[in-house]
Amino acid sequence: MLKFDFLENDRLPDEQYRPAKRYVSKTRAIVVFFLFIFSIIVVGLLCGLLAKRKPCHSRTSEVTNAPHIINTGHHSTPKPTTKKHESTTHISTTGRPPPTSTSPAPLASWDKPRLPGDLIPTHYDLDNRIDIDDQQWFNGTIRVTMTCTRTTNLILLHVKKLDMIAGTASLEAVTGQGVVVPGFLKEPWTHAENQYLVAELDGWLVAGEVYRFTIGFGAELVDQGLLGLYRSSYKTAAGETRYLAATFFAPTNARMAFPCFDEPAMKATYNITLVHQPGYVAISNMPLMRTENVTIEEGERSWVRSTFERTKPMPSYTVCYVVCDFKKETVITSGNIEFSIWAREEAMSSVQYALQKGAAMLDYFDFYFSTKFPLPKMDTVAIPDFGVGAMENWGLMTFKESYLLYTPGQSSESNLQDINNVLAHELAHQWFGNLVSFEWWNDLWLKEGFATYASIIGTNITEPDWGMRDQFAATNLFDALQADAAPTSRPIIVDVFTADDINQQYDAIVYDKAASIIRMIHDFLGETEFRRGLEIYVERYQYSNAVNTDLWNCFTDAVNGSGVDVKQVMDTWTLQMGYPIVHVTREYSSANPSFSANQSRFLIDPEANTTTTYDDLGYQWHIPLRYTTKQEANFESPPLQWLTPNSPVTIPLAGSLADEWLLVNINAYGYYRVNYDQKNWQLLISQLLTDHQTYMSRLVEPFYLAVGWDNSNSGHLQQLARVLAIQEACNYGNADCISTATSLFAAWMRNSSYNSIPPDQKKSVYCTAIAGGGDAEWSFAFDQYESTLIASERALLLKSLACANQPWILSKYLEMTIDGIKSQDAGSVVVSVAKNPVGYDLAWRFFQTNWEFFRQTYGSSLFHFANLIKKVTAHFNTESQLRELQNFISLHPDQGTGARAMVQAVEQTRANIRWVQNHRDEVKAWLQRVNQD
């Protein structure tokens, strides 16, 4: 069953409001009665006095210069008022009593982490003036039109790290005849803990009426952890620093740019106007409608006002705007959509590949989802400082440069694959996430899991020779299986409330596991039914919100009575953590060849403590079994058999011989592992040994010699294979590989203006040469990192610099993350050093020493903080390291978005300790024996 529920208007579950039962004595009851009578008299007098108070009159607030700001927001939290309202004595300022069919919202509802749902936004008018060059601040006005769904005397919007402009708050009625609008009890204030702007009213807003709330706001235009509205920069070839302003609002950061109802179900339309300095262009979700020169105050230089068309109804986290000096390239898609890529001028030669592939994907998704992209244009922007890979803002996708820019002769095949994957992922979101949104963040997987899987579909169209469907197992499935095998995993769907809860959802479970189960659905439903289910889903819920059950019901409708209850099947995969191992035992007799299958939960450490706060369904699953034998060798359309909870199954293998192997889970479409009886394992091993390559270097060397260094006349997959072969050969000390790599790097050092290293081999060459070299090699690479304007080259050099084998160099590099390396890259440096056997203790010590810096910089991030914690603790495998980690956690209880990662690090350390204790001697003896053969 579902372990979460929504009340009407998106309220929290009943338990959050329901008081506990209490029993009182007779004497206490008499005292309470007299206090109650007294309170009625006091409240009646107060209401009579407050009824004489004049309401605030609405006014239109223009963008102003150098605003007077009340610094109420994130610095102090006023106490809530204690005034009570009794329905029997309330005098309404609207001239009519509150509707009797609804009850007033509790006065102190800002104490809840979710919006009460009494007010639903329908439209925003956002005017924002952004000073990039001079004073580096932004200020503006938000006018939000909202429908009152239940009588309330409180307006709550989300706000974080914003200051409100004194005297700008106003409220007006949009509907209703003779409605008297209540005034404000005091200047609107902010509640920092739940990130609310609180406007307390001296009267009631009436259910069914529409109101417009206006307020001015402002803040500094700074880095802000690359969240909200922030200032970015880049350097030109001449060394000049240029600036821009960009937004990143997911999942709960629109509130850092303007007051808003910052929840995904609160869809609304937006009219956006940006005022900026000349020399810049403004871009937003919709096409630019007009620009005009304006003077804000007499004698001040001119500004430019850019006004955009009204948006479609959309969640606040998909709103986006950028003010920059970029150029753009544009193509018109077959569907007549203007598809553009914006980048800094010196990078414009690198946009053509993504421009063509992105336009083709947009056209294909029109066809695949049977719903045309609903906006007139699709802009993408390559942002120099960007905290994640990319963001799917509706009509204005923003990308880290290395995921959008491809430079022929410089970028590698893996860069090409990344660009295609990320483009397809973000474009799929235009339907799954933007056109159809989820109701609340516990269903985040509905967009992220689907977009991760859809990236395979999109890339398979633009680059059909890359075998992306086959690559999925290596790039996504195995990562999910590894993360989900720990007892510290979580279900795909979990209850979340706070911003930190929401941010911690962005992990391998919501991306890779969710994508893997969607891939499994695709397989057992078939292409026709799968696409029909998506078509029904998009058509049914476009411009609105959905929950996971809605998608399952659409798939069930698509199969049209075939007997597959998709919800029943998929609840076992989404509502409980982990996954099964299928135990296969064969009957080898020629009279009755068959196999039996049963299931149990798979754990990477069977001895681990599996106590958890999450519900489960007995850790049993509905499992689609696809299988084949050596005789059939049917890998295209193998038969399907269901293994259901608590019901082992026996499946006949007609005609199968006792000496032929059986393979279950064909192409790894099922999200589970398989364990066979001993004889079938031996048959599979014999097959593998018959067709293929005594350990590590002895296995790698033939591979390396076969592929060599020559990239000419090689396809995409062959080049990726060559990358792997050279990387492993150099890692395991192959003399020829190391010699070739160091020679290529030395040639580059002799002539820094000419880099002859093949793009696909740069990763291995840079790392090998820096590891085998000293300060000269490292400093040369760092100079190249600082001077190159090619995004992919910067990213590669940044990681390669962590390959050094001298602890003092690695320590110097770590110190640069505090001052000298951009915040978007600092975490990557620490992670890269932690992967180096010479550096992992250095990285852990550095992380501990600079905890406050990393907590402040990344503690609210989606991915960085959790990844940082996992990587700097990944090598822990001793009791002393476990105690040190536990002590560190106890000394730093405020872990932000890293809280779950800390728990997982402890459990992973315990698992590592047990593995070493149980298997170290056995593995050591085996390796020694193999290498002597």
Q: Kindly state the DSSP code that residue 473 receives in the 8-state scheme.
A: I
The values of phi and psi at residue 247, to 5°, are -120, 150
Contact indicator for 97, 113 with CB cutoff of 8 Å? no
- Distance between CA 325 and CA 304 in Å, rounded? 13
848, two tokens: 């501990």
SS3 category, 383: strand
Tokens of 279: 């020399």
The Cα 876–Cα 105 span in angstroms is: 51
308 neighbors 320 (Cβ within 8 angstroms) = no
Q: Is 123 annotated as a binding residue?
A: no
**Amino acid present at 388:** V
907 part of the active site: no
Single-letter code of the amino acid located at 113: P
What's the CA gap between 363 and 349, in Å, rounded? 24
864 labelled binding-site residue:
no
**3-state SS, residue 27:** helix
State the alpha helices, DSSP H only, in 86-220: none
Largest CA distance in the chain: 99
**Which CA distances in Å does 177 have to 26, 153, 170, 209, 214?**
50, 19, 19, 10, 21
Least Cα distance to 786 among 802, 775, 797 occurs for 797
Residue 457 CB partners (closer than 8 Å, separation 6+) = 368, 424, 428
First to last CA, the chain: 56
Q: Which among 200, 309, 426, 701 is annotated as catalytic?
A: 426
**Angstrom distance (rounded) from CA 822 to CA 226:** 10
209, 148 contact by CB (below 8 A): yes
Reference 858, options 813, 826, 888; nearest CA is 826
Identity at 51, one-letter amino acid code = A
For the beta carbon of residue 600, count every other beta carbon within 10 angstroms: 12
Strand order in the sheet with 649-652: 649-652, 594-601, 580-587, 673-676
CA separation for the pair 448, 508 (Å, rounded): 10
- Cα gap 786→764, rounded to integer Å: 20
Which two tokens mark 21?
């039962």
Radius of gyration of the CA atoms of the chain, in A: 30
To the nearest 10°, report the CA torsion of 593, 667, 492, 396: -160
Residue 223 in tokens: 């880095």
Is there a binding annotation on residue 429?
yes
Nearest to 514 by CA among 467, 564, 476, 566: 476
The residues that bridge with 594 in the sheet, in sequence order, are: 587, 652
The CA distance from 98 to 118, in Å, is 13
Helices vs. strands in the chain: H and E counts, helices first: 26, 30
Look up residue 257 and give its two tokens: 């740019």
Angstrom distances, CA of residue 170 to CA of 17, 74, 139, 181, 300: 31, 21, 17, 10, 28
Q: Strand 228-235's sheet: what is its strand order? A: 228-235, 241-248, 321-324, 281-284
* Amino acid in position 349: S
Report d(CA 778, CA 809) in Å as an integer. 8
| Annotated binding-site residue numbers | 425, 429, 448
| Annotated binding-site residue numbers for Zn(2+) | 425, 429, 448
Return the active site residues. Answer: 426
